[in-house]
Structure 1
């Protein structure tokens, strides 16, 4: 997808399909006939209805689940904001390709296909303490790469990321869109106190330098974000347009799609937060975006790891919905009328 301008992208983020409410209602009706007290499976029931709404079918499926990991390099690493050197980004992309990362194992266990998409990792974004991380065309190109990565006919999408320095970019986006700085800054790859101070200082400088554009969610994402974050946003937008539900991963993925919420109050209705990570700003960011996570396992890896784990929850929810007998079929007495 070639978005010719920020205004074209803005329009695409505001003209959104609303899913199929009749499909969701059909799921809810069937849930009430199954051999269990009504509502007793909690979110497992509403998750199936959510899948049905966004897939547009009364019996949702999870035959084609994809995980797409986007990778990008960040110029802000020059400010000493990460515990790892920037060359680790390319090295980890190689590790993904070789099957040696956590996401490779988790995707396999979730029955998901894994794609790795590096975005100019040999060419970092600009250091956003000195200049915008991306100009408009670079930002739109990354958005388009993400958008084009989404295939028709996919049943469920999970997005992951790799990019040394990207928790700094994520915290900067959160600061730009929701205010403050300290509450969004965490230790990322494990920086010490001095590194945490440098990270906070870099974001404070960026907020002052780019203050004139921070009122605009798209311009803010270009000024202080990264290519892989922009690609995640583009892919999430494509999923909405193509009727594909999305599981959001951790802090970086959540920050990447935050502009969509600021542009449209229901911009992420097709997405569910898979987990809340141990990165300190994630819980507050989920709250600010009105997202309720499925899991809380103290994870902070990224790569789409938490989203992959949540695929198994969705598979369990769907198995109950499609496999359970109704009261009538099983010959089980229903709740007595009162």
Structure 2
């Protein structure tokens, strides 16, 4: 179902500022614990942020989900990936059968994996698949637009609706995951178009391409920018012309999480491209984002800086799927346990400075 003409505005109107009262109460709790003020660093920061997002000083973040959006890319015709496009549907089935890295890490974190076919260029059938196909892959961005503006809106709507359904069931934490062979190329194009980085700064090795193919990939991104001439002041135009269906779906996930007062943990380069677009469409969603890690992908550091996010960890990861974001679920759990289980100076009989 496509978003109505005023859909983005209506979503923006549902995104409320963080609850300052809840954040103040969370800070007071942190300051009462048996430790020097601020000594737990990012664990304290995320505890305050979670309170502001949910409006609860001690929120229950036990229900967590990683939403893996899957879609194919016409730009694979240009030979920009070390893997063939056929890997996308094969990996979707791997997710659904529980065999991918994100499945392993999600099981360890007690999180649900929700796999969405939003644009895979294959007919997929599985009882666990959320089938929301907009079209069978995008157009080749080196020659024309990835999709129409209406298709981009429809893909955003899919992400929003998936979050809305899960939030209605009590999920409070969402991670952005993706699968789509070739998707570092549109992500790099989005970064150049919206972030102003140079092509050589934004384009990386993706699945592990060699030097010759890296130079070719950069030229493909430059051709895509020239062929589409997207308006940098219109993020939806940039997304439609240069993005991917799974990226657009993740834009909807991020906006949906913010509209439902839920945390959204951003994974790597492709997920951050979605976060960049979401932040331009609705700046109100930015405080609801948590950057999980800094990927080894070439442009990810610049992408995070452009958005204004600081990653929690740097683990030399570059897999995608939502793996880095799910790994950071453990830090959210740790922050919650600190808030609930750590003794206060008063209860422990410890003198304060």
| Structure 1 position 81 matched with structure 2 position 80 | yes
TM alignment of 1:139-288, pairs within 5 A: 139-150=152-163, 151-152=166-167, 153-179=170-196, 180-288=198-306
The residue aligned with 1:119 is 118
Q: Is the 8 A contact 2:266 2:290 kept in 1?
A: yes
Q: Is the 8 A contact 1:21 1:53 kept in 2?
A: yes
RMSD: 1.4
The residue aligned with 2:151 is 138
The residue aligned with 2:104 is 105
Deviations 1:57-112 (A, max 9, x none): 12112220111111000000000110000000000001111111100100011111
1:67 partner SS: strand
1:260, 1:236 → 2: CA distance?
7
**Stretch moving more, 127-136 or 84-93:** 127-136
Deviations 1:247-269 (A, max 9, x none): 10000000112122224444311
The residue aligned with 2:133 is none
The residue aligned with 1:4 is 4
1:16 Cα deviation (Å)?
A: 2.9
2:230, 2:189 → 1: CA distance?
15
1:15 Cα deviation (Å)?
A: 6.1
The residue aligned with 2:46 is 47
1:132, 1:16 → 2: CA distance?
30
1:119 partner SS: strand
The TM-score, its normalising length taken from structure 2, stands at 0.91
Report runs of 4+ in structure 1 exceeding 6 Å deviation: none
1:142 Cα deviation (Å)?
A: 0.9
Structure 2 portions without partners, runs of 5+: 122-135
**Aligned pairs, how many?**
334
The TM-score, its normalising length taken from structure 1, stands at 0.95
**Judging changes above 3 Å, is the alpha-carbon distance between structure 1 residues 30 and 154 closer, same or farther for their aligned structure 2 residues?**
same
1:174 Cα deviation (Å)?
A: 0.4
Q: Is the 8 A contact 1:48 1:60 kept in 2?
A: no
Deviations 1:17-53 (A, max 9, x none): 1121111110000111111111111111111111111
The residue aligned with 2:68 is 69
1:129 Cα deviation (Å)?
A: 1.3
